[in-house]
Structure 1
């Protein structure tokens, strides 16, 4: 009996326990090797391709993307299409990068996908939407400098995703130090978890490299991008052309030559946008990037790039339209100028703004920019804070005759007897800005989101208040109101108001005098007292 027990124990030690160890090791490997850091980019056309990239712990965990235009709830056998990609690693990486490009997709179509493989396991089901081939409304987001404050970075990401953009253009400085993989692991965890729109849509990224990426292998190893991955361009439908540039390498030479050729070849696009990291027109620093100003800005002028987005200066600044070739001291009309937007508040420490002749609006806050491009030729820019509230906005309209369909109503009491006076109004329509006039004299220019004005200096009598609303084409409509500021006869400032209890003041003064007199008498006795 003892011999049988010994043999059974020996069997457990030699056979069963090692098998259990292997089993739990496989489970652990599967857990470690399930896909993380899932993100989407484009290496080719945005309407028929997309590239899925993720990371696992093992090279053989699987390089598969299973996809369909119907949701299958992550059941691998149900998806009609599959593509096998590649995997690789690099010095300092925290795992293996898996990269799969999907091609021959249908434009303007929602696809559902899972990624991974049988050995390492698959991701949950996610979705993406291909770009359209025809003119249509598109919403996208622009922002940058998300690097070193994870709480603020995640708050911006979560607020952004609620607007369900088609993609995000990131102006660089994604992390504090691009050579340190742990910085990237934290950043990609935010993207993996928070860049999710409706229907579990994974929001693609169009990145521009920043100086904090340090031109590192970590950056190029984790993003699948076109060409040399430093400068490249995309089309979104037939109307939008997007140029991505690198301020972290030589600005002249090959990059400048490519930029001019690219802009010339896409000059017929209705909207042209560029994104780069270091701005030519600074927001917070004494000077902008001199190379960009000398080499690229003349090309932006020549080919009329509508908006140039940048980061680097940790704040928000929207310029008035600038044509540096035409004037280096005066703003230009939209049809002849480029708007420069610094959007660098995705999580980096904020800097103080400086004043410039080209400033239209600036703010020192964490934010992102929400851009809507409409089929009719209008574009709406909104700067959003971490609550998703708009703190700056502007409309740009081109190639259409915008009907003036605005209304405005001023609200305040007709008669006022004291300053300040709070003036408010309601307005409807596509409004670019307001101007306030008092008695025919211009007083204030206000952005479209500001619908109030405080009057602090006004003489007694009747005054004409005029608020004019302007649409993006310069058309205007105004509302007027007659305001009467009166001072009743005999009325004095509040300190002389007869309702004030002056008798109490008299009592206090009388008692004070009596106390002083008694004290003086005591003092006098002390001085003349004989000891």
Structure 2
């Protein structure tokens, strides 16, 4: 990223250094949280935070994380978990110069895991009336516990440059013994099957970039396939807190968030751990789809197990909202594309409409049928997803190849370096978040149609759990694939332009997270561009 596009935000190290002085209005003493989150593995409480303590002996604050409220310019949700009921959960907060001048009470949710019988309590405090484009510090606490703290930066008001990141399919870097396993025996080496160190390395990578927010494209920790679901969620939130306490991590639910015995739809855990800007009034559907705006970018998060043919979770949930989510999606897309304040539409979802990895799941015909016409009609610019454990992106696509039984997305341009987003949607599979079972070595390399196009295997009919009828197609939409590295994430640097009708651009960098060292290396860079919506011709 050029110097012009770097954000002039207070560094994490400086913010933490100021924390002690800011807290002095509540308690004396410096706060020594240590170095930047990317360089720290723990956050020892300082004298300033310890002096906020009220009582003793309570269960600790765990898994501290942030989410945007309904208006990212003025609202932030601070969340944490406990394994016991607590009294008076709350957040004290303020600006870096003003200190802890305000307090917000937290709302508590809980669920009891259907397998283990363990109950988890999650506490969510909505901080409101914040100033846009401003740094804040905060401390989460409840009676008897040492507070845990972080900082965040609110979204800008109006068009402004900012950066966000994205990946899916993470897992947890910590292991969990299988039930009854003896660590002395050979059976004790049978760990949580989806854990890899890359799931920890990638969090450090995100902190090195330092985005305003991060998008999680589903399949967060794979608790549904682990031996101890509650413990896996705890490890996951603890690992990600190294970044998620400093910037919102905004998730969509994937198939591995569907857990048998945890609610009618299996989403009780996901819906308890997160408090997202959902407008859904049905408790069973709350948090499953939502949207928010930062600058001139409208982000729309979907839960697409409802649409997908594939049965990938503990419960086959196809059609669970009766079309409610799809109607909401079209309403959101229509409003976003009609707004002169919105330039970019970004969709975050889990299952995919494009994939050419044979060892992976493959594109889903039902997703193409439901989403494709809407994405075309309202000019969706970018789709970020996961599900396939690799990196692949499409050419810009619009419409389908004539006569295609699999609704093959039709390329609207062949360029991979500069993409004219007004004329097509770019799909990015970002499934290298850290989980095992990678699929980057299984990309098709055939000449399927005699014109140099590789093939893809499209799911066309549901048969059973991870079992579908597939039909081969010429994957004319293939843009770029990474068959060398399984893990990585994307950075999106938004340049809004200066004047009405200017070109606005998103500079995209895909980073490999190299194993076993965890270092970052740039795999590719490209640019999305379109005309601003506040002047000139608009998409129809």
TM beyond 0.5: yes
Alignment partner of 1:394: what SS?
strand
Deviation (angstroms), 1:79: 1.5
Task: Specify every segment of 5 or more residues in structure 1 that has no aligned partner in the other structure, as ranges.
Answer: 1-26, 73-77, 401-531
Deviation (angstroms), 1:282: 2.0
**Structure number, greater radius of gyration:** 1
Q: 1:103 to 1:318 in 2, by over 3 A?
A: same
1:255 aligns with 2:303: no
Once residues 280 and 134 of structure 1 are traced to their aligned partners in structure 2, the CA distance between those partners, rounded to angstroms, is 32
1:79 aligns with 2:100: yes
Once residues 216 and 30 of structure 1 are traced to their aligned partners in structure 2, the CA distance between those partners, rounded to angstroms, is 34
Tell me the residue number matched to 1:350: 438
Tell me the residue number matched to 1:24: none
1:216 aligns with 2:267: yes
Deviation (angstroms), 1:359: 1.2
Q: 1:287 to 1:88 in 2, by over 3 A?
A: closer
Deviations 1:215-246 (A, max 9, x none): 33111110111232111111112x11011111
**TM-score normalised to structure 1 length:** 0.65
1:388 aligns with 2:388: no
Deviation (angstroms), 1:117: 2.9
**TM-score normalised to structure 2 length:** 0.64
Deviation (angstroms), 1:34: 2.4
Tell me the residue number matched to 2:481: 362
Check whether the contact 2:361–2:388 (CA below 8 A) recurs between aligned residues.
no
Within-5 A mapping of 1:351-430: 351=439, 352-354=442-444, 355=454, 356-364=475-483, 365-376=486-497, 377-386=504-513, 387-399=519-531
Which of 380, 387, 391 aligns to 1:316? It is 391
Check whether the contact 2:86–2:143 (CA below 8 A) recurs between aligned residues.
no
Deviation (angstroms), 1:99: 1.2
1:66 aligns with 2:117: no
Once residues 371 and 140 of structure 1 are traced to their aligned partners in structure 2, the CA distance between those partners, rounded to angstroms, is 5
Tell me the residue number matched to 2:142: 117
Once residues 232 and 95 of structure 2 are traced to their aligned partners in structure 1, the CA distance between those partners, rounded to angstroms, is 35
Deviation (angstroms), 1:106: 1.1
Check whether the contact 1:144–1:173 (CA below 8 A) recurs between aligned residues.
yes
Tell me the residue number matched to 1:282: 355
Q: 1:50 to 1:320 in 2, by over 3 A?
A: same
Task: Specify every segment of 5 or more residues in structure 2 that has no aligned partner in the other structure, as ranges.
Answer: 1-52, 172-193, 259-265, 280-285, 307-317, 403-407, 414-419, 445-453, 455-474, 498-503, 514-518, 533-540
User: Cα RMSD over matched residues?
Assistant: 2.3
Alignment partner of 1:113: what SS?
strand
Tell me the residue number matched to 2:61: 35
Please list every run of at least 4 consecutive aligned residues from structure 1 whose deviation after the TM superposition is greater than 4 angstroms.
29-32, 325-330
Once residues 325 and 301 of structure 1 are traced to their aligned partners in structure 2, the CA distance between those partners, rounded to angstroms, is 10
Once residues 167 and 362 of structure 2 are traced to their aligned partners in structure 1, the CA distance between those partners, rounded to angstroms, is 21
Whose RCO is larger (CA < 8 A, sep 6+)?
Answer: 2
Which of 61, 70, 73 aligns to 1:44? It is 70
Check whether the contact 2:400–2:410 (CA below 8 A) recurs between aligned residues.
no
1:245 aligns with 2:325: no
Once residues 353 and 326 of structure 1 are traced to their aligned partners in structure 2, the CA distance between those partners, rounded to angstroms, is 21
Deviations 1:236-262 (A, max 9, x none): 12x110111111224671111111111
Which of 211, 232, 253 aligns to 1:183? It is 232
Once residues 109 and 272 of structure 2 are traced to their aligned partners in structure 1, the CA distance between those partners, rounded to angstroms, is 9
Comparing 94-103 with 377-386, greater Cα deviation is found at 94-103
Q: Which has the higher helix share?
A: 1
Tell me the residue number matched to 1:149: 195
Deviations 1:46-75 (A, max 9, x none): 111111110124423441100010268xxx
Check whether the contact 1:315–1:353 (CA below 8 A) recurs between aligned residues.
no
Alignment partner of 1:243: what SS?
strand
Q: 1:320 to 1:127 in 2, by over 3 A?
A: same
Give the number of aligned pairs.
362
Deviation (angstroms), 1:32: 5.6
Deviation (angstroms), 1:118: 4.1
Check whether the contact 1:283–1:313 (CA below 8 A) recurs between aligned residues.
no
